[in-house]
Amino acid sequence: MSTTDLSTQHNDPSFSSLWEELNWRGLIQISTDPQALQEALDGEPITYYCGFDPTASSLHLGHLVQLLLLRRLQLAGHHPIGLVGGSTGLIGDPRQTSERILNSRETVAQWVDMLREQVQRFLSFEGANPARMVNNLDWTSQLSAIDFLRDIGKNFRVGTMIKKDIVAKRLNSEEGISYTEFSYQILQGLDFLNLYRQYDCVLQTGGSDQWGNLTSGTDLVRKTEGAAVHAIGTPLITNSDGTKFGKSEGNAIWLDPELTSPYAFYQFWLNTADADVADRLKVFTFRTREEIAELERLTREEPHRREAQRVLAADVNTLVHGEQATQQAVEASAAVFGRGSFEDLDASTLAAVAEALPGATVPGGTQHAVVDLLVATGLSDSKSAARRTLKEGGVSLNNRKVQGEDAVVSPGDLLHGRFALLRRGKKNLAAVTFTD
């Protein structure tokens, strides 16, 4: 995964303040004292942080809101801290439904390294306000159970803890909640306290569904240090029809290109509904208010062009996967619609295209009749129908028209020695993957 140069981006100069821009972009659903927070963000540089727990080997689309918020605040001159939870990841924050399965220490440690690499690609570690990466295992591993209970736990009231939304839901569920997950908010509060003491960190950001955990930190700092610190809860992103953003048939959209290919990632954004695209541009790109207004106009007046979706897909894909992967995704998308060549695509992009299309897998190293492949891929219902389509000139191989009913696909016709893209008519496309 690669990101664009941080120095090439900027905050929108059309806003009178950073606070105004964050609100316009829809990034603040809830916060501590808004006036004090606005003064802090629009004043001298402050230190802020966001935490990411290694509950999987990759961050996903939901985390991207926080990663880009970290980036926006750094562009405004503030000092970011990216925290990967080596200790909180061993516990896991309470889920809405049931207890998490605890992962091994070795697995969590491996995931910490993987997530750290993902987070730091969105930040700059040079210049006047370089970023810092931390792991909360560094300070929690030094605490004994007695010290944790005496010095930290005594500042938390059970009555307050059980009122937190997720905790309350779990307490009222059949399964209940374990003391392990119940204690998660204390650990997250300890993170804020430690970062305040060590780096004068005064702001934590996170999703609004984490508000109970966020305020555990602000309350702990207030009680132990007598200081007022801040928290921002960003809204959970949903589609205009109310469905959860980033979920497609139960599959998360990952930031790791091995889990969600840059091509599939690009297609996800390209398929954004017209009703959602302006909001997505505000949250997930660094386009200015003027640029987004123009894209909104094009969406209203010329929706068939899908210009806003193309800009959104290219911008976000570039942020996450880099310019080269995005260019490949753009070219692949054009080729799928018959407007480009599959031959210029690299092997990984072509494999992602093949995975996304209906198709068939056949033995390699030999010729295969196009008639048979049309049937195998489902492009034709029968060999007679396939021959009729071939006779009418309605079949192309890798976007090149196939001639003759007896046409074959030879090893030399394959792209990267493995793939052949068959098209019937203009819109029906399928992939054939040849095995070794």
Q: Closest Cα partner for 235 from 289, 283, 287, 169?
A: 283
> Is 188 within any annotated ligand binding site?
yes
β-bridge pairing 230-234 and 247-248? unpaired
> Is 164 within any annotated ligand binding site?
no
SS (H, E, C) the chain: CCCCCHHHCCCCCCCCCHHHHHHHCCCCCEECCHHHHHHHHCCCCCEEEEEECCCCCCCEHHHHHHHHHHHHHHHCCCEEEEEECCCHHHHCCCCCCCCCCCCCHHHHHHHHHHHHHHHHCCCCCCCCCCCEEEECHHHHCCCCHHHHHHHHHHHCCHHHHCCCHHHHHHHCCCCCCCHHHHCHHHHHHHHHHHHHHHHCEEEEEEEHHHHHHHHHHHHHHHHHHCCCCEEEEECCCECCCCCECCEECCEECECCCCCCCHHHHHHHHHCCCHHHHHHHHHHHCCCCHHHHHHHHHHHHHCHHHCHHHHHHHHHHHHHHHCHHHHHHHHHHHHHHCCCCCHHHCCHHHHHHHHHHCCEEEEECCCCEEHHHHHHHCCCCCCHHHHHHHHHCCCEEECCEECCCCCCEECHHHCECCCEEEEEECCCEEEEEEEEC
Distance CA 357, CA 359 (A): 6
> Is 210 within any annotated ligand binding site?
no
Distance CA 21, CA 274 (A): 23
Distance CA 272, CA 309 (A): 6
Half-sphere exposure of 203 (CA within 13 A, CB side): 24
> Is 196 within any annotated ligand binding site?
no
Binding residues: 49, 184, 188, 247
Binding residues for ATP: 247
Binding residues for L-tyrosine: 49, 184, 188
